[in-house]
Amino acid sequence: MIEYKTADELRRMRESGAIVGSVLRELRPLVKAGVRTADLDAFAERRTRDLGAKPAFKGYRGYPATLCISVNEEVIHGIPGARVLKDGDVVSVDFGVLYEDFYGDAARTYAVGEVGPAARNLIRTAEDSFRRGVDKLVEGNRLSDVSAAVQACVEAQGFSVIRSFVGHGIGRSLHEEPQVPNFGFPGRGPRIRKGLVVAIEPMIAAGDWEVEIQADGWTAVTRDRSLAAHFEETVAVTERGAEILSAEDEIGARTGAWKEQPHA
């Protein structure tokens, strides 16, 4: 059952989303050649706790880290560790928090140093397709209108949509109803209405959409080892339209719900 959020619940979700956006904003310049993925994870956990929140992923179904860091052909759920990033890597960072009983969730894909035009276009298309989906997240539309818009944008660039993983509702649980696939036909599924909060997250590949899971039981890679990209935001349907709760701006400062602390 879809849990539509009240005005007070949306206010609290803005606060959790603001923390997500703030930490991602601070992480962005740290994703560079020579950095270990474990160090990015440690930074994110420290900042999350500085801001009074808890990492959403750490311990979730046994996942061992604060971030999911997926490099090149890794689609999602890459576990941070000793790997050192290098020039030319395509790096997806997925991050979530729990703050005052509500979750926020978002992901970005970064180019490390110089990457080729195809990789740049893949990264750009992941974000563009997200925004095409959000354009359809309006009251009265069907949820599959979002899915179809994402798919059309991705495939117009010659890329493929990963089908084994989908977006999701979010609120008091990290994953709630409804599921939000990144593919499908328009005009299907529940009507979109005020109070709906979803994590829309295109996961796309330069080659085929099929994936396989690595021996760690978490890391999903493209079966053909083509590059992958991931973009995600927590988005609410409000009386003013779709509102991105996890954007990398000063949302948190405006809500006043939490205060920036000095770096440890």
Confidence of residue 86 (pLDDT cuts 50, 70, 90): very high
Confidence of residue 256 (pLDDT cuts 50, 70, 90): very low
Question: Strand locations in the chain, DSSP E?
Answer: 54-55, 67-71, 74-76, 90-99, 102-111, 160-161, 167-169, 176-180, 197-200, 203-205, 211-213, 220-222, 228-230, 233-238, 241-244
Domains of the chain as residue ranges with CATH: 7-253 (3.90.230.10)
CA 11 to chain centre: 20
DSSP tally for the chain: helices H, then strands E: 5, 15
Instruction: Report in angstroms the alpha-carbon separations of 163 from 43, 50, 185, 202.
Output: 31, 36, 14, 10
Reading the block at residue 188, the tokens are 């299907």
Q: Bigger pLDDT: 248 or 121?
A: 121
Mean pLDDT of the chain: 94
Instruction: Report in angstroms the alpha-carbon separations of 94 from 16, 226, 248, 262.
Output: 15, 19, 14, 24
DSSP structural state of residue 240:
T
Give me the pLDDT at residue 138, please.
96
Distance CA 147, CA 136 (A): 9
Residues 6 or more apart in contact with residue 41 via CB below 8 angstroms? 65, 66, 67, 69, 80
Which of 163-172, 175-184, 223-232, 254-263 bottoms out in mean pLDDT, i.e. has the lowest? Answer: 254-263
DSSP structural state of residue 36:
B
Exposure letters 124-149 (e unless 16+ CB within 10 A, then b): ebbbbbbbbbbebbeeebbbbbbbbb
Task: Using CB atoms within 10 Å of the CB of residue 69, give its burial: 0 to 12 exposed, 13 to 18 middle, 19+ buried.
Answer: buried
Residue 222 has pLDDT above 50, yes or no: yes
Q: Among residues of the chain, what percentage have pLDDT more than 70?
A: 94
Give me the pLDDT at residue 254, please.
34
Instruction: Report in angstroms the alpha-carbon separations of 245 from 41, 79, 216.
Output: 22, 25, 32
The residue assigned the tokens 């354009």 is 135
Residue 241, Cβ neighbours under 10 Å: how many?
13
The residues facing 36 across adjacent strands are 84
Average pLDDT over residues 190-201: 97
Give me the pLDDT at residue 49, please.
97
